Amino acid sequence: MSLKQGMREIDKVERIVISEAGLRANINNYVKRVTGRQSLKAFIWQEFIFAFFGNLPTAVGSVLGAAAYRSLLGKIGSNCFIEEGVRFRIPQRVFLGDRVFIGKGCDIDVEYPESETRIGQDVWLGSSVIVLRGVTVHDGAVVGPVAVVTKNIPSYSIAGGVPTKVIGKRE
């Protein structure tokens, strides 16, 4: 079988799977994947909050965004600063401590409703950091920009890279 024929077969299989599930089932699966529950109302509210507050520039936008996220996140501590373009997947399973700074373009991805992601107190996440499901970034940790956090980060550590590695300690 040639590569072209193989691609046609894969394309056929993908079309069959999608058409067998139906549009309604696919929408329901997407809503559950993004919100952690099968509620179109919750999905619309979440997307409204992210669309309206998620891309407000400047410090005022970051503070307003953090206040708006209180209705979505599992917990958000006091004095949190969330830059523009931050994305939370299944936000009610994300827990932020006090004085958390999340840089521009970060992605906090819980992925499954039964897992959760915890960001401790006094944590800094640089721009474009991806935090994967089930991870805890402990108190006082700093994660450098464009890092992918795949496992827990110890307290007062400085971490960076893909995947993230501890590269130092804060004092």
pLDDT tens per residue, range 34-69: 777 778 888 888 888 877 777 777 777 777 777 788
**Alpha-carbon separation of residue 31 from 3, 27, 34, 56, 68 (angstroms):** 35, 6, 5, 24, 20
- Structure letter (DSSP) for residue 17: H
CATH code 2.30.110.10 for 44-169? no
Q: What is the distance between the alpha carbons of residues 43 and 51, in angstroms, rounded to a whole number?
A: 12
User: How many whole angstroms separate alpha carbon 54 and alpha carbon 82?
Assistant: 9
- For the ranges 11-20, 41-50, 65-74, the lowest mean pLDDT is seen at 11-20
User: Dihedrals φ, ψ of 143, to 5°?
Assistant: -115, 125
Q: E strands within the chain?
A: 75-76, 81-82, 87-89, 94-96, 101-102, 107-109, 117-119, 124-125, 130-131, 136-137, 142-143, 148-149, 157-160, 165-169
- Domain ranges (residues) in the chain: 1-35, 44-169
- What is the spatial distance between Cα 140 and Cα 124, in angstroms, rounded to a whole number? 8
Is-contact 152 158, C-beta < 8 A?
no
The maximal CA–CA distance of the chain, rounded, in angstroms, is 61
Is the model's pTM score more than 0.75? no
Q: Which tens digits make up the pLDDT trace of 104-150?
A: 899 998 777 678 899 999 999 999 999 988 899 999 999 999 999 99
Query: Which comes out higher in pLDDT, residue 30 or 135?
Result: 135
Q: How many residues does the chain have?
A: 171
Query: What is the Cα–Cα distance from 99 to 111, expressed in whole angstroms?
Result: 25
Distance CA 32, CA 110 (A): 12
Asked whether the predicted pLDDT for residue 13 surpasses 60, the reply is no
